[in-house]
Amino acid sequence: MSNRNLSAIAMVALLSFTSAASADNGAMPERWRSYAGVSWDHPDRTAIPATFSGSVNAPIAGIHFDAKGTAYVSTPRLISASAPATLSVLDTTVASGPARLTAFPSREGNAVDGPFGQSLRNVLGFYVDRRNGWLWALDMGFVAGEAESPAGSQKLVVLDLNSGRTIKRISLDSVADRKASFLNDVAVDERRRIAYISDSGSRSAPDNRAGLIIVDFTSGQTRRVLDRHPAVRVEPGVKVVAHGREVWPGKPLLIGINGIALSPDAGTLYWTVTTGTHAYTLPTAILRQPGSTDAQIASRIEVLGDVGGNTDGIVTDAKGNLYITDVTRNGIVRYDPVSKAMSPIASNEGIYWPDTPTIHPDGDLVFTSSRLSDHFTGAVKAGDERYDLWRLPAKALTQE
């Protein structure tokens, strides 16, 4: 046998060993769907739709599924306001080509120039409520190019999943600053119908006016707590690192509280800070007490530990495990509330800026890879955009 063949066999053996070692050290995430840009409202499923001309500026950031497995996604208007919709239904029966989106509840309901207090202008975070059959859409209000959110545009809009009908709109202008706030994500106590919103305050960086907002659906009352508390603000000295490099060197990315989630019984609230490395928790009972002070609330905050890198979205499963997107190590970290262990469980070099994780009705963990930080700097050129959905099967999660 020639030396060349021996070398080839050795290389195959080495690669096989490396793959096996990686599998033993954690779950192997699967690139479940990979889209070359986005398209809207294409009824002919037999033909490849035309890619939206501005799709490089409309990255798929958020994703959630309803009880039937229908996928809803957000394409925030942070880089450009030209996208036909900021909240849409994604056809996941198609695995590649441009993502096939249908505006939800309609194009008119997503109009940038529509009535500011009614139409969805800029949705990043949203929540699919399987118990009530609703979707809670968090509208940041402002779109790219606006220094201030128009009056009434910062809002929480509750939509019926079946009909798209608006159930309720709740203005957030009284608890969010129209110039300083960056309404990032929302978690919902489905039984009590209470929403918890993270305001990362990024538009007021470096003195981020970060905070936590509580919304009671029944009464329509809103409340802001922990305003500029250290547990929701940027951690001093921390840089955001993705794929081995600092994000935006010389102009650091400063994002406070971002990912937010509830335990299955909604008794515990979790959150992370993107320009930071720690996860925090708080019992929701203290937040639901109308007379509780910031000092009383702050006294109940617990630091869960160091995640090991920067983070974005978070989610809990039915067993109460907390899954955190790991921007720095291109994967997922899990926190076990029973053992109190924080450990990375999946990573892949093909994952760029893991954004929103969600639990599919079949138990799989699905998350987006938005490469959002590169899109902001123009590092991704038109035609080169790829919006990937990654998956960790339920079986892999239970084996970890």
Q: What residues does 311 pair with on adjacent strands? A: 326
- pLDDT (tens digit per residue) in 1-24: 433 333 333 333 333 323 333 333
- C-alpha 156/C-alpha 305 separation (Å) is 31
359-384 mean pLDDT: 90
Residue 295: strand, helix, or coil? helix
Taking all residues of the chain, what is their mean pLDDT, rounded to a whole number? 91
222-238 mean pLDDT: 97
- pLDDT (tens digit per residue) in 118-127: 999 999 999 9
Residue type, position 258, single letter: N
Q: Write the Ramachandran bin of 37: left for phi over 0, alpha for psi from -120 to 50, otherwise beta.
A: left
With pLDDT > 90 as the criterion, what percentage of the chain qualifies? 83
What's the pLDDT score for residue 266? 98
Burial (CB < 10 A; 0-12, 13-18, 19+), residue 102, is middle
CB 224, CB 211: distance < 8 Å? yes
Other C-beta atoms lying within 10 Å of the C-beta of residue 334: 21
- pLDDT (tens digit per residue) in 53-92: 999 999 999 999 999 999 999 999 999 999 999 999 999 9
What's the pLDDT score for residue 400? 52
Q: Above 90 in pLDDT, residue 233?
A: yes
| Residues shown for the chain | 400
Q: DSSP letters of 78-103?
A: TS-S--S-SEEEE-TT--SSSEEEEE
**Domains in the chain: ranges and CATH:** 26-399 (2.120.10.30)
With pLDDT > 70 as the criterion, what percentage of the chain qualifies? 92
